A = this chain, B = another copy of it.
């Protein structure tokens, strides 16, 4: 039978917040917080040895940031989930945290009950996020601006990004290589780029393909 207790660790530089979090967690049946740290350096040195289910990680920390902390701790703690805590809804920080391996993302004024819900949720295979954060994450999938390219151009850009040559693109679309070249020139002008590499980058970044 599995350990019913969820073991939580905290990395948070503000002593008051750190203690409040620990009190909330230890004061709730089913939760336990034995380890807490004021900075990533000590967490990295001490935490990997101890059994931990969930790490609550502040982002704004002196020295190593919480994002970098997750990046370093994760490989050593494959079974743990990381939930970021932050005061700001900084877009960059959100996506960097997710890339680093965070599974949850909460603003610091999350009420205690919701924080505990989030910890439960992350253990049950979810990805708890504050509402505004979730919206930003979801938004990031959308095409930001309407494509300036025609259908034909988009089609050719797609083949271009497959690494295909003028010639093979021309053959696939039953066109003269000259025509393909003209299209690509027009694509370059519309996207304000000067090479295939730049075009592919821009196309993927702006979700044009």
Contact = CB atoms under 8 A, between A and B. Distances in A.
Interface of A: 95, 98-99, 101-103, 121, 124-129, 131-132, 134-135, 137-138, 141-143, 160-163, 193-201, 204-205, 207
Given A98-B142, A200-B200, A200-B201, A163 B127 contact: no
Contacts of A126: 131-132, 134-135
Nearest to A130: B126
Contacts of A99: 141-143, 207
Report the 6 A-B pairs with minimum CB-CB distance, sorted nearest first. A126-B131, A163-B198, A98-B141, A127-B134, A196-B197, A127-B138
A199 B161 CA distance: 9
Q: Please give the count of copies of this chain that the complex contains.
A: 2
Contacts of A95: 141
Contact of A138 (B98, B135, B163, B201): B98
B141 A195 contact: no
Interface centre among A101, A193, A205 (most CB of B within 10 A): A101
Contact of A201 (B127, B161, B194): B161
A77 to B, nearest CB: 15
B121 A125 contact: no
B200 A103 contact: no
Contact of A204 (B135, B196, B201): B201
Given A125-B131, A131-B121, A162 B201 contact: yes
B135 A137 contact: no
A96 to B, nearest CB: 9
22 contacts: A95-B141, A98-B142, A99-B141, A121-B131, A124-B131, A125-B132, A125-B135, A126-B131, A126-B132, A126-B135, A129-B138, A137-B137, A160-B197, A161-B200, A161-B201, A195-B196, A197-B197, A197-B199, A200-B200, A200-B204, A204-B204, A204-B205
